[in-house]
Amino acid sequence: MKGFIQDLNKAFESRIRLGIMSALMVNDKVDFSTLKELLETTDGNLASHTRALENLEYIKVEKSFVGRKPNTRFSITREGRAAFEQHLAALERMLKGL
């Protein structure tokens, strides 16, 4: 298993970030409330993790209003998809012991 650890992306070590990226891999867009409920986390915790992924340019944040209520939606970027796929491939290689 030599060398596999270096192939893992530190950005995805957190279960929250792993969950965010997983949800965005299979959905075009996911709103803040849905992610919060899905990941069973707090507003502040989710906000800090989404901000970190946004700073890495792995996700895109879209803010709008639905009626008078603010709505924040997230989508995965091309760079984010590639980075996450590489991370998953490294995990798979590690599990297979190749």
Domains of the chain and any CATH numbers: 4-96 (1.10.10.10)
Alpha-carbon span 13 to 7, nearest angstrom: 12
Predicted local distance difference test score (pLDDT) of residue 2: 58
Predicted local distance difference test score (pLDDT) of residue 6: 85
Strand partners of residue 68? none
Predicted local distance difference test score (pLDDT) of residue 3: 67
Predicted local distance difference test score (pLDDT) of residue 56: 98
Strand partners of residue 49? none
Give the distance, in angstroms, between the CA of residue 26 and the centroid of all CA atoms in the same chain: 11
Interior CA angle at 60 toward 79 and 54, to 5°?
80
Single-letter residue type at 75: S
Encode pLDDT of 29-83 as tens digits.
999 999 999 999 999 999 999 999 999 999 999 999 988 999 999 999 999 999 9
Task: Record the pTM.
Answer: 0.90
Encode pLDDT of 16-28 as tens digits.
999 999 999 999 9
